[in-house]
Structure 1
C-alpha cells in the first residue's frame, strides 16, 4: 500500500478513535434520527383497555407517537393518533372514533425492561370526536387520567428492536444515570454520575 494512503488511513483511524473516546459519556440525536428509532422500537398499534367501570370500558388503539424537540431543557412534545371504541353499560354504542393525543413529557430508560418510557407526562389535549354526550360530561376526566397511566406504562421504544440504541444505553448506564435532554435542537442522551 502506498505511503500517502497508509498515512491517511492511520490518521483517519486515530481521529475516529479519539472522537469516540471524547464523546463516550453522551450521544446526540437529531429529531429525525430519534424518531426513526421510535418508529422501529414502538410496537404499533398498541391496544390498551381503560377500565372506567361501572359506566364504561374503553379500548384504545394507538399508532406510533411523533416526537418533537422543543427548546433547551424543555420536555419533548408528542402527538399520537389512534382510535377509541367504548362499551357503555355492557352494550357497544360507538364505532371506532378517532382520537388525537398531544402532550409533553420527559423520557426514562428502564434497563430492567430494556425499554424507554414516557416520564413526567403533562397532557395538553386529548381530543375525541365523541357523539356520546354521557362520555363528554361524565367520563372525560377519568378517561384522561386512565390514559395518562397507560401512556406512562407503555414502552415508547422496545430496545430489542433498536440494537444500536440498546448498546449506547448499556454503556452509558455503567457510568451513571441515563438522562435525556433537549439541547441545541437535538436530543442529548448522557450519563450523569450518581452523587455519593
Structure 2
C-alpha cells in the first residue's frame, strides 16, 4: 500500500477512535449549566402548582406555587431554590379574602423516581417561608406548623415531570442502564449540575 494512502487511513482511524472514545466518555454523565437546568424546570414543572395544607384545628391553606427558580452553589453543595406563590388561608374559620403573597427559599438535593417518571426535592434544609400577613397570632402560633406542612408538600411535589421533558427522560433512561438498580445521582461540579448513574459495587471496588 502506498505511503500516502497508509498515512490517510491512519488519520481516518485516529479520528474515528477519538470520536468513539469521546462518545463513550460523554455517555456516562450529563452536564447542565444553571440556565440549562432552569429551562428544564420551566418546561417540566406543572405550574401553577396547587397544594392543600391541612393544619386543623388552627387553619387550612390552599397554596398556589409558581415555577421554582434553581441556583447552583459550590461543588458538592445542595442547590438553592426560590419559589413565589400565593396562599388562601382560613384561620380559625375566618377566611382571608385576598390571596396572600408567599416567598419560599431553601436548600435541597434532587431525587429521581423511576416509578413516577419525575425528579423531586429531597433533604430540604434551611427552608423559610415568608407570608405578607400582619397578624401577630399567625406569626406566633402558626408559622412553625405552616412550614412543617409546607416541607412535606414540597418533598412530594415533582420538580420536573419527565413526561413533559422527553429529551431529559431519554438521557436519564440511558444513564440508568449503567446501574443495575437504575439509580441516578445529582451533584455540582465546577459550577455545573452533573447527572450520572450511582456507582455500582463493581465500580467502587475497581476504583
TM-score normalised according to structure 2 size:
0.85
More displaced, 130-139 or 143-152?
130-139
Across the aligned residues of Structure 1 and Structure 2, the Cα RMSD in angstroms comes to 2.0
Question: Could you say what secondary structure the match of 2:142 adopts?
Answer: helix
CA distance 1:44–1:14, change in 2 (3 Å): farther
Partner residue in 2 for 1:3? none
CA distance 1:18–1:135, change in 2 (3 Å): same
Partner residue in 2 for 1:194? 200
From the two aligned structures, give the one with the greater strand fraction.
Answer: 1
Aligned pairs (5 A) from 1:90-101: 90-101=93-104
Measure the CA separation in 2 of the matches of 1:62 and 1:155: 12
Measure the CA separation in 2 of the matches of 1:66 and 1:20: 32
Aligned pairs (5 A) from 1:1-196: 16-176=19-179, 177-195=183-201
Runs of 4+ in 1 over 3 A off after TM superposition: 9-18
User: How far has the Cα of 1:17 moved from its partner?
Assistant: 4.3
Question: Could you say what secondary structure the match of 1:49 adopts?
Answer: strand
Measure the CA separation in 2 of the matches of 1:138 and 1:167: 47
CA distance 1:98–1:12, change in 2 (3 Å): farther
The total of aligned residue pairs comes to 189
Measure the CA separation in 2 of the matches of 1:13 and 1:109: 35
Measure the CA separation in 1 of the matches of 2:13 and 2:163: 35
Measure the CA separation in 1 of the matches of 2:36 and 2:73: 15
Unmatched 5+ stretches in structure 1: 1-8
Measure the CA separation in 1 of the matches of 2:116 and 2:198: 20
CA distance 1:138–1:178, change in 2 (3 Å): same
CA distance 1:181–1:59, change in 2 (3 Å): same
The 8 Å contact of residues 70 and 77 in structure 1, kept in 2 or not, is answered as yes
| CA displacement, residues 52-83 of structure 1 (integer Å, 9 cap, x when unaligned) | 10010011100000000000000000000000
The 8 Å contact of residues 87 and 94 in structure 1, kept in 2 or not, is answered as no
Unmatched 5+ stretches in structure 2: 1-11, 203-207
User: How far has the Cα of 1:12 moved from its partner?
Assistant: 7.7
In terms of Rg, which structure is larger?
2
Partner residue in 2 for 1:6? none
| CA displacement, residues 81-125 of structure 1 (integer Å, 9 cap, x when unaligned) | 000110122331241111110100000000100000001001342
